[in-house]
Amino acid sequence: MHSRLRPAVGDAAAPRTLGWQAYLDRVLPAFTELQRQGLIVEWGITGVGHPDAVLDTLSGEVPPAAVQVVINALDMSGDMWIFGDRDAPSNQSILDAAVMAGVPVVGIRAVAAGALTDSFDRVIDPGHPAHGDYQRAQGVRRLAAEFGESAASLAHRYALSVAGVATVVLGVKNRAELHECLRAEERGPLTGAEMDAVRRL
């Protein structure tokens, strides 16, 4: 389920989001029925909605079998966060709750929409969140150079090294980018010292 969830209480709202009651009344029964019919084995959610709603889902009576969580070196949600400035993403809390509930985490946004790469492959409007994220990620590019790899390689290795992450979605557009990701995985997880160096950024 890719829809962003709104919390059950409070006034956090955004266009094209799914209310908590609709999730309970319609989505859960639909998934349960699909499972009963043997049409699906499991189901999951994309955990980029309001943190309160995502956390309630993970601790619910019928938790998802997997959750997609923003996992990247600088914890940047970029334009995936749509609930305004009064609230904020809580990716670490969602990751922790998923691990506690035994729900596998599918890492997304490893390169933060391109902000954690050596250079954008497209023109980015200066007002777009990814533009500001790219400026903030200069330290990641410097560190990657010290490690002898590209920023995208370091970003993917970081995401794969985070405890609780079962797999990472690759936002690749061509074979060259795919091969870069495969080489990053072949290099193996970051060492403890390397993880500390990234986190200090």
The pTM for the full model equals 0.92
Tokens 């970051």, located at residue: 190
Retrieve residue 80's tokens. 């995936």
Q: In sequence order, what E strands does the chain have?
A: 4-5, 17-18, 44-46, 66-70, 105-108, 165-168
Per-residue confidence at 120, pLDDT binned at 50, 70, 90? confident
Please answer whether residues 39 and 164 qualify as being in contact, where contact means their C-beta atoms are separated by less than 8 angstroms: no
* Predicted pLDDT at 11: 65
CATH code linked to domain 4-200: 3.20.20.100
Q: How do residues 76-85 score in pLDDT, each as one tens digit?
A: 999 899 888 8
Distance, in Å, from the CA atom of 173 to the CA atom of 152, rounded to the nearest integer, reads 13
Report phi then psi at 48, rounded to 5.
-110, 10
Q: Where are the domains of the chain?
A: 4-200
Is 36's pLDDT higher than 80? yes
